[in-house]
Every structure is written in structure tokens, then in C-alpha cells.
A and B are shown apart, each in its own frame.
Chain A
């Protein structure tokens, strides 16, 4: 089988939200291609369509027009269950507000994703989750619940969870927005290091200019239109 050239490929993608007679174009003919081991930062003002771009790229929303391919698979016209499967197997998300499950410990937050994604037994999933948390410097916090963790720790657990699925594509939405400068820097460094080592394609959507230094490419999104920037 011929290897696919891009992990993520958006070709002429538009997204229009319609409500009655009104319509808003959130994305307008956007094309991006991201390879494994590459970090692409997408920056732009509020309301420019960054989150829409991320959700379309992450197989959460179908584009109104254009084609989205993840690992060479066209997901543009897939049904809900197929999109779920793509997200489960190919895409890892990192959120601005961490989005950990509050009742679960750090270990359980990671383990539950491994169990569901890889259908692993509890023993091997626990082993893998422990290993991941250790990799993210959280071996001493595996039994802590989110409300007992610092924001930096929460974000590292969230990244560990994203890596737990061993996805080809990582999509991060403002990953440093809720972190102080030092923690933000540490998190981005970790993300950069692991994505390079593990050859993951990373798309980071952010307002934060500190992201620039970690990105291979920076794209500017304004009014749903994309342009190279810096």
C-alpha cells in the first residue's frame, strides 16, 4: 500500500453555519497539509474560525464544502459512527480547559481512553497509563483527582490522555491559555519533544505568541481565510 503523504489534509474546505435565512461563513476555502513530526500553529483573532477549523480537522464537524483527509482517509462525508471511529483511532485532542473527567484519578483518566481505544484489559491498560504518566513527570500524581492537581499537572494529564490513543494527529486548542508562562513553556516543550520523537502531526490553535517558537509553520486565520504568516 502506498504511504499517504500527509497525516492531515484539508483541501478547499468551507464551513457555513446556517440559521433560518442567515448564514455565517466560518471557514472559506481553507487548505492545509500537515505531515508527521510537524507542528503547525494557527493563529488569529477571536471569531476568526480557529475552533471551527480544529473541529473540522478533528472529524467532529463535516465541512460544507471541500475535502478533509486524516491519514489518507476522506472523512468529509462519513456518518457519525465512522467519524467516532476516526477520532478514537487517529486523533488526539488537547483542550484549553483540560477537560479531564472530574471523578476519575489521573491514572483512570488515561486508562479509560486506552481501554476503549485499544480494547485492552485493565491490567495492560493500567501499565500503559502508568508508563505515560511517568513519561509526563506525573508518576507521583497518578492517584490524584483533577481538583487536587495544579493547572500544569492537569494539562500534562490531558496531553498524556491524548497520547494514550497513540494517534497520528494531535489537535490542541489554546493549550497554554490557562497556564502561567513557565508552565505553558514546559507543556509546549513536552508536546514538541514527543511529537517529534513519535512522529505525530500537531496542529495548535492559539492566541498565544509564545507558541511561535515551537511551531515549524505558522498560519494566520482571519474571517475564515487562511494565510501564511511568519
Chain B
């Protein structure tokens, strides 16, 4: 590293602090937003992706799990039962439902993505239970641990909808969709809880195959023989669900990311430019002494680079330190810091450093060494 770059940079500690602070703020914002995006991505796809089904079968036009306006015709279940490739069939009713804890204020409601499944089959039920019963019995409900934490739900509490209630008998994990969570009841309970007139109402069928390699062939046959249904793989359904939720947030995130980058670039660029202008006489002296332009450009680039490295270290450090506290304080603030994102932010910081040095370098190129003889 060039002596002049280091000395000039560290001789103006206030300016260096402003510059490093600007970049650190930018890195922190970019880092935390990326971690938030990754955290949300992980969470919202988790349940659908990890249900051990080879195929999800819903009504035609069903695109995702959250807006599950799927209602299947009666014959689909029978048809699936007869398909020789299919090992297990598990019917599901999925409905977004507004509930409250019994004894709490009537207005203190929250959204639950209620999943009714067949506990005898197990497919489509809780991914992992973390307390209480493994499966719900009649009139019972297993709620996601995240929901229990946010709402203060304990085992034995009753969750109410209209004049019906369910008793909490266990906790599960892996069903957090950030703004809602899943809760599980038995299929038989659902008919009574929702007051369905028919026992054959189904939102989805989950199936596992004897040979998962037959997925494609079965899908094609089902589509031809059972019109009005949609056959979806778990991965695709998870991705669609992610897109549904994050697609609304992503444009906002991108705008904030760009703003954060521009703020970092502007602060670093302005401070480095000011430093260059202030030292332009000294750069003129060096030019007069025969120092070449590339040498002087290196001085500016190195200053910019050191500032960026310091800013990145502070910003990345803040991201790693503050993220868990933020997550504790705000449950929806689910973050997941990936090393690939940290590398990406480092790359963005490097670009910031190069761009911040561009105008000062141009300014430096125009310094006339003759001016050092004046005054």
C-alpha cells in the first residue's frame, strides 16, 4: 500500500469516520435487507417444500398454498385411490381462518392457515412437533411454535372462531409464513368446525408414489383423465408460494437496496473527492516531481479501497451483531445471513469504491503541476 494514500487518509480522522460511516450504513442496510429477504424466502417456502409428498393435486388455477382457493371435485379422491402408481393419498383442507384465544378481547384476532389432514395417514401434518401431542384428536389443534410465541398461546388454551373452538394440544415448527402460520386439525374436526354440509370437501390431495420417477407420466395421465385439476410438484408449489408472498415485497426491497448503494456511493465519493480537491496542490507537487498519473490514481484508488474495506467491516459486523437482536424484538424480522450474500455485498462495496474514486481521479488528471509555483 502506498504511504501517501495511508497517511493522507488517516491524517483526517473525522473525514475518514464520515466516509467509513457512510459506507458502513450502506453495507448494513444492504446486508440486513438481503438477510431479511433470505430469511423470508426460507420461512415461507419451508412447509410446502418439506412436506414429503411427490405431488400436490389441487383444483385448476391453484397457484400457491397461501391463497389456497382450491376446491376439488368429489371423484378425484376415488380416482387417485385407484391409480396403481400411487402409494399414499392424503386429503387436505387448507383455509385461511381468523381466530382468537378464548377469554381474550374479541378484536384481538389473528390469521391462521388452518390445515385439516388425516392423522391416520400423517402426510400434510406437522413437519416437526416441538411439544405436546404428535397429532390432533377431535376438537384439538396443534399450532406453530412461532404463532404460540407471538400470541402467547399455551397448551390447553382454546382458539375460537365464531361459536366454535379448538383446544391447543401441541406445538409444531416449520410452518411460519411470516404474516401467518399454519395450525393443524384432523379432517373430521374440520367439517364440524367450518360447518361443512359434505364430508368430501377437499382443497388438496397429497400423494406419494411407489416410484417417484413416474411423476411425469402420472401427471400427464391425470390431466387427461381428470380435467379441472392441477398437478404440482412440491418444489414448484413452494416456489410459487414464495413468489406470491415475496413478489409483492421484492420491488420495494430492490428500491431500498439501490438507495442504500447510492447513499454509500455518494458519501464515499463526496468525501474522497473533497479530500482530493483539498490535496490537489500536493498532488501537483508530486506531478512536478515526476510522479506519474497512474501513481497518483493509485493513491486515490487505495484511499477509496481502504475506506470501503473499513466500511464493509463495520457494516457487515453490524449486520451480524444486530440481526439476532432485531429478530428477537420483531418476530416478523426473520433474517438469514448467507456467506454468499456477504460476498455479494463485499463485491458491491468494491464497485462502490471504484465508482467513488472515478471523479476524484478525473479531477486529479486535470491538475496542472505548474500551479505549485504560484504562491
Contact residues of B with A, CB < 8 Å? 3-4, 7-8, 10-11, 281-282, 285-293, 295, 369-370, 372-375
User: With the chains together, A197 CA to B116 CA distance in Å?
Assistant: 101
The answer for the CA separation of A101 and B290 in the assembled complex, in Å, is 15
A residues 62-83 in Cβ contact with B at 8 Å: 80-81
Task: Judge if A97 is at the interface, Cβ distance under 8 Å.
Answer: yes
Whole-angstrom distance between the Cβ of B276 and the nearest chain A Cβ: 14
CB distance from A145 to the nearest CB of B (A): 9
Any chain B CB within 8 A of the CB of A54?
Answer: yes
Assuming the contacts A51-B374, A97-B375, A102-B11, asked whether A60 and B369 have C-beta atoms less than 8 A apart, the reply is yes
List chain A residues, Cβ under 8 A from B287. 84
Complex Cα distance, B11 from A58, in Å, reads 31
Tell me if B291 and A60 are in contact (CB < 8 A): no
Total A-B pairs, Cβ < 8 A: 67
Are B4 and A89 touching (Cβ within 8 A)? Answer: no
Residues of B contacting A103 in the complex (Cβ-Cβ under 8 angstroms): 4, 7-8, 10-11
Within 8 A of B (CB), among A155-209: 161, 165, 173
Question: Which listed residue, A61, A91, A104, touches B4 by the CB 8 Å rule?
Answer: A104
- A contact face: mostly helix, strand, loop, or mixed: helix
In the complex, whether A86 has a CB less than 8 A from a CB of chain B is yes
Q: Which of A110-118, A134-142, A214-222 contacts B (4 or more CB under 8 A)?
A: A110-118
Q: How far is the CB of A23 from chain B (nearest CB, A)?
A: 18
Q: Contact between A101 and B373 (Cβ–Cβ < 8 Å)?
A: no
- Whether A60 lies near B288 (C-beta < 8 A) is yes
Q: B residues within 8 A CB of A113?
A: 289
Q: How near does chain B come to A32, taking the closest CB pair, in angstroms?
A: 18
Contact A88/B291 with A103-B11, A108-B7 known, Cβ cut-off 8 Å: yes
Inside 8 A of B282's CB, which chain A residues have their CB?
99, 101-102
The reply to whether B4 and A112 contact each other, CB–CB distance below 8 Å, is yes
B374 cross-chain contacts in A, Cβ below 8 A: 51
Give the distance in Å from the alpha carbon of A165 to the alpha carbon of B291 in the complex.
Answer: 12
Of B288, B291, B373, B374, most A-chain CB atoms within 10 Å: B373
Say whether A104 contacts B290, CB under 8 Å.
no
16 CB < 8 A contacts A-B? A51-B373, A55-B370, A58-B288, A60-B288, A87-B289, A91-B290, A95-B285, A95-B373, A96-B373, A97-B375, A99-B282, A99-B285, A101-B282, A103-B4, A111-B3, A165-B289
Q: A51 CA to B369 CA in the complex, in Å?
A: 13
Q: Is the CB of A89 within 8 A of B292?
A: no
Hey, which chain A residues are within 8 Å of B295, CB to CB? 116
- Asked whether, in the complex, the Cβ of B290 is within 8 Å of the Cβ of A117, the reply is yes
Could you tell me the distance between the alpha carbons of A99 and B371 in the complex, rounded to whole angstroms?
A: 11
CB-CB under 8 A for A81 and B373, given A103-B7, A112-B3: no
Most buried by B among A91, A104, A117: A104
